[in-house]
Structure formats: structure tokens, C-alpha cells
Structure 1
Amino acid sequence: MSRLAPKPVRKDAVHNRAAVLDAARAVFGAHGLDAPLDLIAEKAGVGRGTLYRHFADRTELALAVLEADVADLGRRTAEQGDDPSVFFWFLDRLAEDMVRNAGLAGVVRNVRSPDALTSLRQSLMEAGAAPLARAQAAGLVREDLRPMDIRLIATLLGAGFQGADAAERQAVSLRTRAVILDGLKPRGGPL
């Protein structure tokens, strides 16, 4: 039985998708989640039809931006090597991404189908799992942390951003990181 080979993806389609994601990241960051999609298409140098061929709606586009950022964070984290302190580097980059993408937090809160977030959550846990394990093995963080706790940490890192300007988001992020990092330290005994 012969199988048909998968249809190759055109280079211009790959380029257009990447351009739309880059434009959406910039536009959503500057103007918030309610920014006109026409502005994103214009900034990407594509027509509105091209934008909609890649993304059915604003939510799908915003989730794709977040997923691309988490994938990029995973790649950058892996490039840092096997040093046990890379877990803290990972958390700092995650916090910086969350400050930059604060305008996209609303899409995560308002997604109607929890399944729509499964890929994003899984990618986040995978990006931090190996650095977490190395930090634990070195005694840098609590032994009871699990990769699924990275999702909780991300939620805490993004808390307090709603309605905040860039300077306030940065201040909240720095304080949240300090509190979280203290909570990650190994404990000598029962609390």
C-alpha cells in the first residue's frame, strides 16, 4: 500500500507565519491584546487573509506567540549547559518574558477550553524540568519541587500585572522573584 508523501510547506508560508508571530508579539506588547489585527498584518507585511490562514482568531494568535516564546526559552535554556544554577537563569528569563508579554496574560485567563493551554503548559514544564533536576541534585532548591510546580511558579511570576504600567510590572516581577527564590531554597527541617 503506497502512502502519499506529506505536502511540503512552502518557504513563504513559513516566513509569513514567523513574520505574523513577530509582529503580534510587538503589537500586543505595545498596544495590548485588543490591538487591531490589521495592525499586526500590516507590521508583518502580509494581508489580512494571510493572517487568518495561519490563525483563526486573536486567541489562537496570542497563544501561538506564547508557545513560540516558551519554545524559544526552552532552546535558550538548553544552550546554557548543565550548570545547576541554570534553573535560576531559566526563572529569570521566564519572568522577563512574562513582563514583556503581560498584555497576553488575559488570553490565558480567558481561554474557554482548558485543552487549548495543554501544549503551552507542557512546553513550559519540559523547558524547566532538566534544569530543576540539576539544581535539586546540587542541593540548590527544595527536593519536593516537581516539574509541574514550574506552572505554579509561572502563575506567581505573572501575578499582579493586570492594569500595571511597564515600570510597575518590572518592580512587581523583581519582588515576586525574590519571594519565590527564597521559597525554593532547601529547608533544614519542618516549617
Structure 2
Amino acid sequence: MSHPAPKPVRKDAVQNRAALLAAARAVLSEQGLDAPLDLIAERAGVGRGTLYRHFADRTELALAVLEEEVEDLGRRTAQRGDDPDAFFWFLDQLAQHMIRNAGLAGVVRNVRSPDALAPLRRRLMEAGAGPLARAQAAGLVREDLGPMDIRLIATLLGAGFQNADEAERRAVSERVRALLLDGLKARPREAR
């Protein structure tokens, strides 16, 4: 038995989703996670019903914003081509992303279903896997790192941000990056 082809997504639905994500990114960065959803819909130029057709709740919307930003980071990192230093650029950009979106980190910490985080985690590992492999091939970072470690690095980069103002987030981020970069460096092979 043949199944019907999936219905194509309407162009206006794609545009509405993009507008909602752009508005959510701006409003949530300005006002934090408790920003009124009506304001996001208004800035996107759509009604509240359209917002809820795309995103079931505030958490789903915030996760979609984070996923889109990580996907964008992956595209920008890929544009750096075969540069083995792209991994370090990726980490710096990820740290800046964490500082900017510190308010959204609470969403990640408080998600009730681990499955809800799977797309974000997958995109994060995909974004960093290629640059990591190139840095390893060039002998710039430890050989024992894998894509799963990118999740751990992201967690460490965002640690200590709860209830911190931007200046403190920047200071913490710089120190964490310094420690991480030292720990990520390739070590001389042990004498056999």
C-alpha cells in the first residue's frame, strides 16, 4: 500500500516561522525568558494563534531559537573551510552565544523531557565535529576528544551564568575558555 506524499509546507508558514524565531531571539534577549509571548507574535507580525501553531509553548520556542543559532554557527564554521584553527573559532563563537543567550540557558536546565533537547544536542555536535576533526588532524587538540565532548564543552562554557550580569558572564566565560583551551591542547605522546 502506497502512502501519500507529505503535504508541502506553505510558503507563508515558512515565513511566519522565520519571523517568529527572529522576533523571539530579539525579545528574549532584551527581556529574558519571561517576555510576553504576545509581544513576540506582535513583533513577528502574526497573531498569537499562529505562534501556537508553530510552537506549543515558551520552552519549545526558546529551544527552536537556540537550535537555529547553533545551526547558523555550524554554517559559519563550515565557511572557514579546512582551517584547523576553525575549532577554536567555533569555541569562541559558542562562548559568545552562551553569553548572549544566558537567559535561555534556564530553558535547557529545566526541560522536563530529555528528548526535547535531542535536536539541539545533535546540531551542536554536528556543528563542531568537522572543525574538531581538522584540529585533531593538525595536532592542535587532544586525540581522545569526540563529538560528545562538544556537549560537555558547551555545558562548561555556560556554567556559572545563573543570576550573573553581563560583565560577570564575560569574566567567567574568559576564564572557563582559558582553562578549557589548555585542557584541549594536544599532549606530547608518552615515551614507549
Q: Is TM more than 0.5 here?
A: yes
Q: Which residue of 2 aligns with 1:167?
A: 167
Partners of 1:173 and 1:154 in 2: CA distance:
11
Within a 5 Å distance, the mapping from 1:104-123 to structure 2 comes to: 104-123=104-123
Q: Deviations over 1:151-178 (max 9, x none)?
A: 0000000011111112221222122111
Shift of 1:187: 2.1
Spell out, residue by residue over 1:33-62, the C-alpha distance to the aligned partner (whole angstroms, 9 max, x if none): 111111111111111111001000001101
- The match for 1:154 is 154
Asked whether 1:36 is paired with 2:36, we answer yes
Q: Find the aligned partners of 1:129 and 1:102 in 2 and give their Cα distance.
A: 24
Cα distance in structure 1, aligned partners of 2:63 and 2:109: 11
Code of the aligned partner of 1:173: S
Counterpart amino acid of residue 88 in structure 1? F
1:123-151 Cα deviation digits (max 9, x unpaired): 11111111111101111011111110000
Q: CA deviation at 1:186?
A: 1.6
**1:92 maps to what in 2?**
92
Q: Whole-Å Cα distance in 2 between the matches of residues 88 and 29 of structure 1?
A: 25
Distance 2:167 2:37 in 1: 26
SS in 2 for 1:56: coil
Aligned residue identity for 2:148: M
Amino acid corresponding to residue 137 of structure 2 in structure 1: A
C-alpha deviation, 1:96, in angstroms: 0.9
- Compute the TM-score of the two structures, normalised by the length of structure 2: 0.94
Q: Which residue of 2 aligns with 1:8?
A: 8
Name the SS for the 1:148 alignment partner. Answer: helix
Q: Do structure 1's residue 128 and structure 2's residue 128 form an aligned pair?
A: yes
* CA distance in 1 between partners of 2:126 and 2:143 (Å): 18
> How many residue pairs are counted as aligned between the two chains?
190
Q: Which runs of 5+ in 1 are unaligned?
A: none
Give, in whole Å, the separation in 1 of the partners of 2:119 and 2:17. Answer: 18
Q: Aligned-residue CA RMSD in angstroms? A: 1.3
User: Separation in 2 of the partners of 1:6 and 1:112?
Assistant: 30
User: 1: distance between equivalents of 2:25 and 2:162?
Assistant: 18
Structure 1 segment 71-86 matched on structure 2, within 5 A: 71-86=71-86
Residue equivalent to 2:143:
143
* Match of residue 184 from structure 1: 184
Q: Distance in 2 between matches of 1:136 and 1:81?
A: 15
Question: How far apart, CA to CA, are the structure 2 residues paired with 1:167 and 1:10?
Answer: 43
Does residue 52 (structure 1) correspond to residue 52 (structure 2)? The answer is yes
- 5+ residue gaps in structure 2? none
Q: One-letter code of the match for 2:82?
A: D
Question: Structure 2 counterpart of 1:55, which letter?
Answer: F
Q: Over residues 63-112 of structure 1, what are the superposed CA-to-partner deviations in whole Å (9 max), with x where a residue is unaligned?
A: 11111111111111111101111000111111111111111000100001
Letter in structure 2 aligned against 1:11: K
Q: What's the TM-score, normalizing by structure 1?
A: 0.95
